[in-house]
Structure 1
Amino acid sequence: MIKKSRLWMIFVFGIVLLLVACGEKSQEDVVKKLGENITELAGYKANVEMTMNTGQEEQVFKIDVWHKKDDFYRVALSNSEEDKGGQIILKNKDGVFVLTPELKKSFKFQSEWPDNSSQPYLYQSLVEDITNDKESKFTTDDNHFIFTTKTNYQTNSNLPYQEIYFNKADYTPALVKVLDTDGNAVVEVKFNSFELNPSFNDKDFEIEENMASATPEDVPTSGDGVTEELEVMVPIQTVGAELTEQIEVDLKDGKRIISTFTGEKNFTLVQEKRNVVETLSSPEEVNGDIVNLGFGAIGALSENSVEWDYNGSNFYLASDQLTREELLQVAQSVQGHNVK
């Protein structure tokens, strides 16, 4: 009787150990499954909230991500507080575009986006960063698989690492924390929803459809329009330079502010706001990289300049002395100053 009891206990204990062992996923198991998910993926839709803590006021904005197999992307960004305007990164069979429906403007990039840099709101980019980092660290909690990996930001060496959380239930992304050199979370990307293999309309990734559907109804497209006050923006991060001259130029349909900064490295910031929005024209060709400026605005970064649209104004920052990383730092720090 005793022997049977012992044998039964050993049998039960063995079954328990087997079940526990089967329930545990190794780093290799999870990476393999993530890779399989990406390979088999027909598409997805994600609703994302991005929070940025860059040493200034905390900024939060919304991102709606659509992806369809064969390299089609639609990434719509908007400021969740002001909810004015917004921009769309669009990739289709014709190339890579940045659309600003509020200003009826579009840029076409000669770019390898999104493959040329880490994109914390794109499923494929997160998995690629994990796969490329042979020294990545792996842990788990009750609901998530967690990876700590290196990032791939060509224009920002101050954000070298990221923590990526995947849901255990379906291996979809849940949260991303982009870390600075001290290990502090500077950027947090929260996936509020993630829909696998949704249906799309034929025109969802076309320029005309996105410009028309996202353009605010109250934006004038002809006539005199409405004259609005111009909030002049200047950078907080000036790389040691000081504002030495600010010129206001009256345009036929708006205003232009030219701010000159002088120091060890000089640069010029041009801000322009027009009261009449031009009708939609063909996309303007841009030689540069797509960069996220961190306040719901997408910029075009070249060797000597960065250009972006925000809150109804166009900005152009130029310098033959600032590095690309310094250009980006200055542009990211542009904030409200006074009203003209």
Structure 2
Amino acid sequence: MRKWKWSRIVMVFFVMLFLAACGGKSQESVLSKIEEKLEEADGYKVKAEMLMRTGQDEQVYEIDVWHKKQNFYRISLTNPQDEKGGQVILKNEEGVFVLTPALKKSFKFQSDWPDNSSQPYLLQSLVKDVVNDKEAVFETTDQHYIFQTKTNYQNNTLLPFQEIYFDKKEYTPVLVKVLDKDKKSQVEVRFSRFENNPDFATDDFKTEETLASLSATAEETVVTEAEEMPFTVMLPLYTAGSELVDKKEVETDEGKRVILTFAGEKNFTLVQQEEPTVETATTSEEVKGDMIHLGHAIGFITNQVIEWSKDGTHYMLASDELTKEELIEVAQSVQGQEVK
């Protein structure tokens, strides 16, 4: 009887060893494999769809990400509802640019983007967030490895968490959910294609050549709409407890300018200016500030001012009383048309 018990104990011991050896991979081994694939690749191309719930209305973006190993990036963000086309973030040896092809305009940033903040559609940024979070939670499903980590959004502390899903076979991102403080998903990026080591043309990451090429394509698709589209005053749907108390319209050499003054719990000013298409695209306007994605457009924030362009209109939101988070929330909500 005693011999039978010892045989059973030994058998259970070896079964446990076998299960441990065949069990799921650890967080460290999965992360190491992802980093290895990223390091070995000369670049990648990604197609994804980004859903943003950070404003009053949901915004959907189609995203094309091109990355070349010399730390070059080209990210095209297109909102199907934007009648003037999308915008492109470009990083090359000259710096970081935001291009608006429909207006033939570009803005240059003195920035260490994308390293200065979390980027839910860039593999490098996702890996960096996992590595930097020593308290990251790791779990597996039948198809995915899942990391739950903190985010690093310099200009938005309202989105502190994220869930990152990697494909078990390919070790490529499948889904990223950016969560608010209540762990509710506010931004979702779904990856539909991930191509390693793609071919790039010589001019794919050059500023002037990229802007000229994209502007020609945008002009073909929006020229008739641009001629017919009237200047429309847009109002914020979130006003931080303030109300519109004054509206001034001014005619300038570039077109109509509207100045909206809001007063109440926290005062702020919203300026809207018609933005004509430039004839040439040989220079970039240099801006001092941090790039920020508002959901409906890419803009830049400096101190207590946010500026962005959308549908042929340039917006500037300024306040000495709104917090940075409130300023962003007001800017994200500038989607309501003025009632005549």
- What is the TM-score when the length of structure 2 is the normalising length? 0.89
Q: 2:210 is matched with which residue? A: 210
Supply the distance in 2 between the matched residues of 1:128 and 1:189 (Cα, whole angstroms): 17
RMSD, matched Cα: 2.4
Supply the distance in 2 between the matched residues of 1:110 and 1:277 (Cα, whole angstroms): 23
Residue type at the aligned position of 2:234: M
Residue type at the aligned position of 2:62: K
Q: 1:36 is matched with which residue? A: 36
Supply the distance in 2 between the matched residues of 1:101 and 1:331 (Cα, whole angstroms): 22
Supply the distance in 1 between the matched residues of 2:34 and 2:87 (Cα, whole angstroms): 30
Q: 1:57 is matched with which residue? A: 57
Please state how far the C-alpha of 1:231 moved relative to its aligned partner.
Answer: 1.8
Q: 2:194 is matched with which residue? A: 194
Supply the distance in 2 between the matched residues of 1:92 and 1:326 (Cα, whole angstroms): 33
- Counting only pairs closer than 5 Å after superposition, residues 277-316 of structure 1 correspond to structure 2 as 277-295=278-296, 297-316=297-316
Note if contact 2:158-2:325 (Cα within 8 Å) is conserved in structure 1: no
Moved more, 183-192 or 229-238: 229-238
Supply the distance in 2 between the matched residues of 1:336 and 1:163 (Cα, whole angstroms): 31
2:242 matches 1:231: no
Residue type at the aligned position of 1:211: L
Supply the distance in 2 between the matched residues of 1:98 and 1:253 (Cα, whole angstroms): 21
- Counting only pairs closer than 5 Å after superposition, residues 1-340 of structure 1 correspond to structure 2 as 18=18, 21-22=21-22, 24-54=24-54, 56-82=56-82, 84-215=84-215, 216-218=218-220, 226=227, 228-295=229-296, 297-338=297-338
Stretches of structure 1 that go unaligned for 5 or more consecutive residues are: 1-6
Residue type at the aligned position of 1:217: E
Supply the distance in 2 between the matched residues of 1:129 and 1:276 (Cα, whole angstroms): 39
SS at match of 1:231: coil
Specify whether residues 234 and 204 from structure 1 end up closer, same or farther in structure 2 by C-alpha distance, changes over 3 A only.
Answer: same
Moved over 3 A (4+): 13-20, 81-84, 225-228, 274-278
Residue type at the aligned position of 2:86: G
Note if contact 1:228-1:275 (Cα within 8 Å) is conserved in structure 2: no
Moved more, 124-133 or 208-217: 208-217
Note if contact 2:105-2:278 (Cα within 8 Å) is conserved in structure 1: no
Specify whether residues 193 and 179 from structure 1 end up closer, same or farther in structure 2 by C-alpha distance, changes over 3 A only.
Answer: same
Note if contact 1:44-1:194 (Cα within 8 Å) is conserved in structure 2: yes
- What is the TM-score when the length of structure 1 is the normalising length? 0.89
Note if contact 2:148-2:164 (Cα within 8 Å) is conserved in structure 1: yes
Supply the distance in 2 between the matched residues of 1:240 and 1:277 (Cα, whole angstroms): 38
Specify whether residues 331 and 162 from structure 1 end up closer, same or farther in structure 2 by C-alpha distance, changes over 3 A only.
Answer: same
Please state how far the C-alpha of 1:59 moved relative to its aligned partner.
Answer: 1.6
Residue type at the aligned position of 2:271: V
Supply the distance in 1 between the matched residues of 2:339 and 2:253 (Cα, whole angstroms): 19
Supply the distance in 2 between the matched residues of 1:83 and 1:33 (Cα, whole angstroms): 42
